[in-house]
Structure 1
Amino acid sequence: MSELYLSAVLDEAERVAEQHDQIARSADDPAHEYLRYAVLRLLEGETDETTTNGPEIDDVTVGYGEDDAMFDSWGDDVEWWETVAPQDGCTRFRIFYPNEHKVVPRGIVDVMAALGAWRVWAGNAAACGSYNHRERREVHYRWPEGHPVEELLHERLSGPAEAVAPDGGRTGDVRDRLVVDESCTCPDWQQRIPDGGCKHMRRVDNEIKRGRVPRPDGRLPIDAD
């Protein structure tokens, strides 16, 4: 099931990048922007095309923003932060759904799991900002910048690397195995090209070594021999 939802998220993010690229024009991490907007469209049922793998949940509203920025706006007024403190470099999703659901709808859980986000709070929604959700429930998910799923989207948008590293993709510099032509769109890589790669490259390198994401040739390290 998780692979079906991951495919739905990536399919929609790819369409967002092609048809709504303006949402990321001023972003340091375009892939992060495309993916979180894709999640909003999937859960709210507003995709450009029929997505057979997408969730079917009525009356869902999604809001998102930087975790620390949301704390600055609402930290003194709500109890969210008493459970999990704000964290730098993360997006927080606020997902509202009908009160008739006694638990978080499975479609929401599956989409957020496919994205690699984790739940940090759930409860009765309260009126806040421009929305009135007093008769609804909400759940919060946190998703870090530089998550490996961003690299999967990079591969779809830019194509896989032409060759695997001489070591077979199991060891060595992360730039030998990065799926986006050995580069990254973040300012750190574009401006400094640091030794060993930027934080996004190093994160993907670590995930490949642990066998959590495929190498550029599509295989996990344990399948290499």
Structure 2
Amino acid sequence: MTGINGAGGASNLTYLDQLKSMQDKKVQEEQKTTGQNELKQEDFLSLLTKQLAQQDPFKPVGNDQMIAQMASFATVDGISQMNDQFGSLNSAMTSSQALQASSLVGRDVLIPSATAVKGIEGGVAGMVKLPQALDNLMVRIENEQGQLIKTMDLGAKPPGEHRLDWDGMDENGNPLPEGRYQVKAAGLVGGENREFDVSTYANVNSVLLGNGDGNVMLNLAGLDSPFKLAEVLEVGQV
């Protein structure tokens, strides 16, 4: 029968080393029979009882050592329980976020993507953030093949966020088919042409709970990949 030696006994292993050794053996036995791999509180108390029964009576474990061992186990057990509670809290928050996000279905949201989806009628809208004032803000609309469809000169703009609107027409005023288009914004900064990040509006089709990582995902009309709810920059008005 395997026992745990008290401090200063014949074994050179500390109590925690011996406990870990016995735990590893116990885990291996349990995995063979039950598949369990956790050392529970009753297992610790059983091992502690064996230690007290088998310790060297001439060199017993000191009270301070015993208290330290019990405190260590209590700390580990508390952390385990805290992790379980955080897991439950995370699940509850994810469900709450999904419920709130369901109200976005059918509405437009602003996402950090220059890819805009045009419907059968109408155009697309977006937003550009300028770090400084520009004399001329130029907007380019390109199709999925990268061909230039339309250029818009929005003139001088101060620093900050500015809305971009395209009516869905080409340079000759002809309506273009539905599909995905790239919206690009650029201007001269210090004599050099510089492009700026563009965000576009997309319509929410459905809400997903993600892949078990706590993220709520939005399926957007016309886009292949869903976007995280946390990535949404703005929700359009009803």
TM-score by length of 2: 0.21
Whose strand proportion is higher, 1 or 2?
A: 2
Give the alignment's TM-score, normalised by structure 1. 0.22
Give the number of the structure whose alpha-carbon radius of gyration is greater.
2
Relative contact order: is structure 1 or structure 2 higher (C-alpha 8 Å, sep ≥ 6)? 2
User: Larger % of helix: which?
Assistant: 1
